[in-house]
């Protein structure tokens, strides 16, 4: 982009086309502003994904770490559910970290953090049993 702009600006200068040089400067500014805006949106989207991952993993791992305080008869089931929640977060939320141009321009619909609620544990158990070989 910079090379093409430089060639066009040099050509405009050699042909004494003053308005074309100004047009190139404006074009460079507009393209630079667009790149800056896309990077800002990408950073914010990445922060949302990281916050959602942190929330779900921290909550699940907190229960697992403090399992000795749980009811002994339900301890294993509760820990299994929290581990499945961690797996769900890794499989569902983490892939959203790679935000591409279609997502930034809202061309391709992706999950929003508000849709990343705690999953149905029974459904996760069915999926986990189907994928374990």
Structural domain of 118? 2-131
Residue 58 CA, chain-centre distance (Å), reads 19
Give the tens place of pLDDT for each residue, 94-119: 887 776 666 666 655 555 555 566 66
pTM: 0.58
The total number of structural domains that make up the chain: 1
Average pLDDT over residues 27-56: 87
Residues in the chain: 133
CA gap 90, 60 in Å, rounded: 12
Please report the pLDDT score of residue 42 as a whole number.
Answer: 84
Contact between 92 and 127 (Cβ < 8 Å): no
Contact between 131 and 90 (Cβ < 8 Å): no
Annotate 60-93 with DSSP letters as a single string.
HHHHHHTGGGS-TTTHHHHHHHHHHHHHHHHHHT
Please report the pLDDT score of residue 108 as a whole number.
Answer: 53
């Amino acid at each position: 982009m910079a090379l093409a702009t430089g060639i066009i600006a040099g050509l405009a200068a050699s042909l004494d086309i003053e308005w074309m040089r100004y047009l190139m400067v404006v074009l460079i500014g507009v393209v630079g502003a667009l790149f800056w805006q896309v990077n800002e949106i990408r950073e914010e989207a990445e922060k949302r994904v990281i916050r959602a991952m942190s929330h779900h993993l921290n909550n699940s791992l907190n229960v697992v770490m403090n399992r000795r305080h749980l009811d002994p008869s339900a301890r294993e089931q509760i820990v299994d559910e929290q581990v499945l929640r961690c797996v769900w977060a890794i499989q569902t939320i983490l892939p959203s970290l790679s935000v591409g141009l279609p997502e930034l321009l809202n061309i391709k619909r992706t999950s929003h953090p508000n849709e990343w609620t705690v999953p149905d544990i029974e459904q996760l158990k069915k999926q986990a049993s189907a994928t374990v070989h």
